[in-house]
A = this chain, B = another copy of it.
């Protein structure tokens, strides 16, 4: 009865405030890391390009799956169809993507990058990759890959 169950939970790092049992909860650290990543992204990419992580994700999915419909995009991004509308509107207004009429289905559109969109995405992507490496600067490349593979196993 003396074994290995709970370990940390009391000292936490620095000092002062204690987070109690959350110190041992994966979800807690996941949330904190994600918030930190978001803030870092906001201060670099979003500040420079006006593109949020969500918009960037949409752009990449459209760029790498040219011609997909809004419904399919919604599925891939795991959000509601109705949430897609304003995002696609925004990207279209920025001239980055285009709604092409579907040849054999008058209900749906095929989403495609515009030439300017492709150009912009190359630039944005460069910034994102730099930001991403910068954010994980405390990790070796091996640790970074290890972390990614562990995260993948959660979903």
Asked if residues A26 and B150 are in contact (CB atoms below 8 Å), the reply is no
A113-155, CB under 8 A of B: which get 1 and which 0?
A: 0000000000001001101100110110001101110111111
Is A43 part of the contact surface with B, judged by Cβ < 8 Å?
no
Q: CA A31 – CA B56 in complex, angstroms? A: 12
Name A's interface SS. Answer: helix
Q: How far is the CB of A128 from chain B (nearest CB, A)?
A: 7
- Indicate if the CB atoms of A37 and B32 lie closer than 8 Å: no
Q: Which one of A17-25, A81-89, A92-100, A102-110 is at the B interface? A: A17-25
How many copies of this chain are found per oligomer?
2
A72 to B139, CA, bound (A): 31
Contact of A155 (CB < 8 Å), options: B32, B68, B128, B155 = B32
Contacts of A76 in B (CB 8 A): 17
- On whether the beta carbons of B20 and A60 are closer than 8 Å, the reply is yes
Distance in angstroms from A78 CB to nearest chain B CB is 7
Which 10 A-B pairs rank lowest in CB-CB distance, beginning with the nearest?
A20-B64, A34-B34, A36-B155, A18-B64, A29-B151, A147-B150, A33-B151, A33-B154, A20-B60, A25-B132
